[in-house]
Amino acid sequence: SGPLRGAPPCLATLEKVGKGHAAAWRLADFRTEETGMQARLALDRNPAEPCCKLMFVGGRSGQREKLGHMLLACDEDGSALRGMRIREDLRGRGLSKLLLAVWLRLCLEAGLTPRTRTINKPLLSLSLAAFGFAPTNQRGMLVRVSAAKRARDCVRSTSAHAPGRTAYIRTAFEAPDAATLRAAVDRQLRHGNLELGVPPAALRRALTLRGGRGACTPKRRGRRRPLP
């Protein structure tokens, strides 16, 4: 494995937005009567494995403000959530569940299995549980979470009598069956309309960073062999 260099060929057919380090590729648009947002894919130069960043921009009156993003590992048959960040002034409004729903819908449309890497954030764990995700092999550390809306005010407690909800951390999560997952996603997106900006096959290539003209895999670092 190794870091990606340049724009992978599997993104060649997608609409590109921005240049250089700010380059991203449009995947889908989600609109309601009052607002809208766009899901874009950007490259994440992770040296350990092929990864991408799913960025969300939008707002009222057609504004393109950054709302948040999630980090995804690009598996051959799936998309694995590594982490998520919501703009601080937008936290506590249920945006994390909406962004998760968009990602999950993209996975369903692309025929990919959504999963996660190890999750250590209790609030993200709770959001995943709302879609039916469960700790892999029922492992992980169970903690109680306060009802605070901001992450910096959210205190973990090991006391069994502490108020608040419980969440699993230090574990990966696996998705429920496709029917259960689709129903949960539909409930979350019921107040808006999600439109794909690319065909399902192109979406699959983008989320896995594989396919297209030429190999869409990271280049390996290593010493050059001397010429004979």
| pLDDT value for 149 | 52
Q: What are phi and psi of 112, to 5 degrees?
A: -110, 150
Average pLDDT over residues 86-98: 93
Cβ neighbors of 197 (< 8 A, separation 6 or more) are: 14, 15, 26, 27, 28, 29
pLDDT of 73 > 50? The answer is yes
Q: Sorting pLDDT into bands at 50, 70 and 90, what band is 52?
A: very high
Average pLDDT over residues 14-20: 92
Query: pLDDT tens for residues 150-208?
Result: 544 454 555 545 556 899 999 999 999 999 999 999 999 999 999 999 999 999 999 99
Query: pLDDT tens for residues 94-128?
Result: 999 999 999 999 999 999 999 999 999 999 999 99
| pLDDT value for 36 | 92
Query: pLDDT tens for residues 202-227?
Result: 999 999 999 876 444 444 444 444 44
